[in-house]
Amino acid sequence: MKHSPALEPQFKIGDAVRIDNRTVVGHNRTPVYIRGKTGVITEIQGRMHEPSRMAYHKPGLPLMYWYKVRFQQRDLWPRYKGDANDQLELDVQEDWLLAPRGKKK
């Protein structure tokens, strides 16, 4: 798994991405309900400090890219009751993003 923060974003708008399903201890910003799920990047939010380190009074450097990722609700919740097109978006730090299964990044 690649964790080196890049100067250029490693993903682009429209890319399908899978959220890493790793287990981490402590504060982080990747909710469990999206881990292992696949969505599509809708925005590149820029480089930001890493909150999972800042939570422990570290500077949160180097800066890392954040992406807005859109999921179909039905992909997140097998028994989702709403409409087929309902969506959920959230912002994910680059080192949690992987190429979807069966695709090489």
Partner 1 sequence: MTHSAHDHDHAHGHDHGHDHSHDLDHPHPPQRDHDADEMSPYELLEEAVRSLLVEKGVLTGEEIARQVDLMDSRTPAMGAKVVAKAWLDPDFKKHLLKDTRGALAGLGIDIGTLADYRTVANTAKVHNVVVCTLCSCYPKLLLGIPPAWYKSLAYRSRVVVDPRSVLDEFGLALKPGVEVRVHDSTAELRYLVLPMRPRGTEGWTEDQLAAIITRDCMVGTAVPVVPKKAAA
- 45, burial (CB in 10 Å: exposed 0-12, middle 13-18, buried 19+): middle
Q: Which of 2, 13, 21, 31 binds partner 1 (CB under 8 A)?
A: 31
Of 85 and 104, which CB lies nearer to partner 1 in the complex structure?
Answer: 85
Q: Which of 16, 20, 77, 99 binds partner 1 (CB under 8 A)?
A: 77
Q: Which of 35, 37, 47, 49 binds partner 1 (CB under 8 A)?
A: 49
Q: Is 83 in the site for partner 1 (CB under 8 A)?
A: yes
State the amino acid at position 74 in one-letter form.
R
Q: What does the angle CA 21 – CA 89 – CA 83 come to, to the nearest 5 degrees?
A: 105
